[in-house]
Amino acid sequence: GAVVSQHPSWVICKSGTSVKIECRSLDFQATTMFWYRQFPKQSLMLMATSNEGSKATYEQGVEKDKFLINHASLTLSTLTVTSAHPEDSSFYICSARDWSSGTFRDNEQFFGPGTRLTVL
Amino acid sequence: AQSVTQLDSQVPVFEEAPVELRCNYSSSVSVYLFWYVQYPNQGLQLLLKYLSGSTLVESINGFEAEFNKSQTSFHLRKPSVHISDTAEYFCAVSDLSTGRRALTFGSGTRLQVQP
């Protein structure tokens, strides 16, 4: 149990286009999901906290108009990188907290496999 | 704000030797502590966690970590490593005072096990 998927696993796009990344909790409900970005050989940096049915909370320095987050259901959060540029190339990883029982299970976040975005 | 320090960016070690990966965090307020492992081009996998209770926690593959509140440390150890342990290891902290449960990660330590 507690599987999180991401789609696509990798994407290459041209500069100026928009890219949508999906994060799904496959076997549990997730009222809260997190989006992280990881540059090569660096650690994960939290970008935003995605809350089902409400606006996402963005970390300082993350442009909310550039990184659009939608958490429309208990199993799906999407991150859209708008007008992508080469500097947005990175590994994007989501995580989710299991809310199925009405409490967050094990105080643990379950991570997706990541999406590698390359902007040409 | 919470910060996590992993002093060693790379740790080369021979197979079957012991290893310790160090992790220190900044705040002594209530925290949950985690170690994650990342293999190339993959997401993170939870290795072990400390929430409460015994300060020594163990994973199923032989790793252990000890929570030391006075030194604000959560070092990861394994008495005998295998080639398959080669990966990037991240220490992470969840600051309970914020209520958000977002994780703050250290910069990572690359464990390189050599035959």
Interchain contact B108–A (C-beta under 8 A): yes
Contact flag A46-B36 (C-beta cutoff 8 Å): no
| Mean per-residue pLDDT pooled into runs of 10, chain B (115 residues) | 89 97 86 90 86 86 92 96 95 79 89 95
Residue A31 has what pLDDT?
85
**Is residue A100 predicted with pLDDT exceeding 70?**
no
Residue B55 to residues A24, B65, B72, Cα–Cα distance (Å):
34, 8, 12
Dihedral sign (CA A27, A24, A58, A91): positive
Enumerate the residues of chain A whose CB falls inside 8 A of the CB of residue B32. 107
Q: What mean pLDDT do residues A38-48 have?
A: 87
Residue A109 has what pLDDT?
84
Interchain contact B94–A (C-beta under 8 A): yes
Enumerate the residues of chain A whose CB falls inside 8 A of the CB of residue B34. 108
Q: Would you tell me which residues 24-53 of chain B have a C-beta closer than 8 angstroms to some C-beta of chain A?
A: 32, 34, 36, 41-46, 49, 51
Residue A54 has what pLDDT?
85
Residue B6 CA to its chain's centroid (Å): 9
Measured between CB atoms, which of B41, B100, B105 is closest to A44? B105
Provide the token pair at B107: 């910069």
Residue of chain A nearest B44, judged by CA positions:
A111
**Is residue A99 predicted with pLDDT exceeding 90?**
no
3-state SS, residue A75: coil
Interchain contact A76–B (C-beta under 8 A): no
Residue A16 has what pLDDT?
96
Interchain contact A93–B (C-beta under 8 A): yes
Residue A105 has what pLDDT?
60
Partner residues linked to B67 by β-bridges:
B74
A93 band by pLDDT with thresholds 50, 70 and 90:
very high
**Is residue A76 predicted with pLDDT exceeding 80?**
yes
Contact flag B102-A114 (C-beta cutoff 8 Å): no
Enumerate the residues of chain A whose CB falls inside 8 A of the CB of residue B49. 106-108
Measured between CB atoms, which of A45, A97, A111 is closest to B101? A97
DSSP B72-104: TEEEEEESS--GGG-EEEEEEEEETTTSS--EE
**Is residue A108 predicted with pLDDT exceeding 90?**
no
**Is residue A104 predicted with pLDDT exceeding 70?**
no
